[in-house]
Chain A
Amino acid sequence: MTAAAKPTMIEFRDVHKYYGDYHALRGITATIRAGEFFSLLGPSGCGKTTLLRTIAGFEEISSGAVMIDGKHMEGVPANKRPTNMVFQSYAIFPHLTVAENVGFGLRRAKLSKDELNCRVGEALEMVGLRGLGARAAHALSGGQRQRVALARALILKPKVLLLDEPLSALDKKMREQMQVELIKLQRQVGITFILVTHDQEEALVMSDRIAVMFEGEIAQLADPETLYRRPNSRKVADFIGTMNFLPARILSEGEQGIEVEAQGLGRMLLDPSQAPGAASGTGSSVGFRPETATMLFEGQKAEREAMGTVEEVVYYGDMTYYDVRLDGTEAPIRISMRNVFGRPVLEIGARTRVAWSPGAIVLFR
């Protein structure tokens, strides 16, 4: 099934939010599709959590509209919306047991005791906590609390599950494990997941689509690969991974493409798709990812080569990061090289040839 064929689950129409004089959301317009794993990514204070809370109903918007499954959400309180949330602090009720926590949302459904136990058991099974129902909530580890929060939110079978930085409190190993489990869980239940995160790697790993937010606006909304390969601004490029920038001049723009002259690299012809952003007015530059360039060793040749000097070497075991200053440029660029057995790691001050490819270049104007 192609993504475009999926119906719309959430729609933001020119959403604004003010806190007094502070303009927290500045005209958000976007759609999130049903069954999608969608991420809101951005630095702290960019409005991503505020936007998530407008879906949950914890924040009233100042103007615009939020639609869930085709219905206007204005005036619909949080306890009447078809959404459930996993909180950053997990918000596990400390005075209740695991089963009482998970079954909390079913209190109003007035189920029989057997039916309730059955549903709670299923939910616990789904998150891998079978048999822990009688445990006191405060006796759980961080990862277990996370799972209880998930089970508690999913037991009501919401149309949308909202996740507010759910993995930020876990250590690295646990976080990576939970990322995979969350993806599997989302495929299994088929519910729309909306994740708020400041961790670009997490967003890339987990999401079908990502909205990158800065200062209350969506800077770019795209699938992870497009976001990584064709960022539409230097800011997005900088936030998602590492990108090298070199000052550039646009020589001509025609049918066959855009001709650019970049410092240290020389002239190149770029496809219009390599310039996805609008003009910023701060001068143009070209950018490329560290892994798209490579250093040439004796006997190796490439179509496009540039000369430079190694200024810094960072050895990571499987990888080495080199900071190389190309001749005729002011700031070094970063190149990541996979270490190959038998090949020496270069030293600071060494002269080197750098191979690059025009296809990997992104033009920012």
Chain B
Amino acid sequence: MKGGGFRIYALAYLIFLYAPIILLPLFAFNEGTVIAFPLTGFSTKWFVAAANQPTLWLAVKNSLIIAASASVISTALGVFAARASTRYHFPGKGGVMGLIMLPLVLPEIIVAVSLLVVLLGLGINLSIVTVILGHVLICTPFTIAILTSAFQSLDRSLEEAAYDLGETGISTFRLIILPLVMPGIISSLLISFTISLDEFIIAFFLAGTQPTLPIYIFSQFRFPQAVPVIMALGTVLVACSIVLLASAEYFRRRGLARSGAKDTGGFL
């Protein structure tokens, strides 16, 4: 058969990628405490158990606050940086952009340790705020990368046309540029939200007494009886991200159809 080898490879690859994720709901709905086959019966008790844990809800709340703040702040910073790097020429531009993008390739553990040293040195108490700061640092390179491509695809004469027709720089930005880069801004928000939500190392170092969801999950693995609860939690998270991704893609395609641009690939 033509391409048979590649077909098997592709299949094996997909199984390797998704089998663990499929196992998640399987054991989440399993009655037994032990994570092993054979399954012992259908039950939703682990979901109920998860919902009844106040510390879990606290961690979820912390994570949502951190992810929302970090994604909004880093996207806002990204808009400024992307705009500057695509429109203006200034001395040292290459160096500045390089330094901003550096956290992308820097080992996170190093960022985490140095942040911890600095914060402690300054006498700042560890809290949600310090985690937000750390997450903004690692999310910003991603938002800049996404937003730069959004700003680059913008025809410069659109701005000039609005200006020529009597608008000011600020109203041109609001009326023309912002609506046209909105799909980029939404993807930037979503991606930085996701990065922040499952980030572990920086949160572990900087969270102090306010654990985030990944930290909570990690800590629960010390107790074997808590593992099915984590499985249930994981199932909920997977379902949420599928819904999130699908809706983001829906909005992106709708935006494309509205502006008549060509589809050049998205999340799905």
Interface residues of A (CB under 8 A from B): 56, 58, 77-79, 83-85, 87-89, 91, 93-95, 104-105, 107-108, 136-139, 152-153, 156
Contacts and interface: CB of A to CB of B under 8 A. Distances in A.
A156 B166 contact: yes
Given A58-B160, A78-B160, A136-B258, A89 B155 contact: yes
A79 B259 contact: no
Contacts of B176: 93
B165 A152 contact: yes
A91 B166 contact: no
B165 A88 contact: no
A136 B260 contact: yes
Given A58-B160, A85-B160, A87-B160, A105 B258 contact: no
B20 to A, nearest CB: 42
B54 to A, nearest CB: 46
Contacts of B157: 87-89, 91
B66 to A, nearest CB: 33
Nearest to A94: B259
Given A79-B167, A91-B155, A94-B180, A138 B161 contact: no
Contact of A105 (B165, B180, B261): B165
Interface string B125-168: 00000000000000000000000000000010110111111111
A193 to B, nearest CB: 16
A95 B165 contact: no
13 contacts: A78-B160, A79-B164, A79-B165, A79-B167, A85-B161, A87-B161, A93-B161, A95-B179, A95-B259, A104-B165, A105-B166, A138-B261, A152-B165
Contacts of B162: 93, 104
A8 to B, nearest CB: 23
A95 B256 CA distance: 10
Given A79-B166, A79-B168, A89-B155, A94 B161 contact: no
Of B155, B166, B167, B168, most buried by chain A (CB within 10 Å of CB) is B166
B260 A94 contact: yes
Of B157, B158, B164, B180, most buried by chain A (CB within 10 Å of CB) is B164
A56 B261 CA distance: 29
B260 to A, nearest CB: 2
Contacts of B260: 94, 136-139
Contacts of B158: 91, 93
Given A79-B166, A105-B165, A156-B166, A95 B160 contact: no
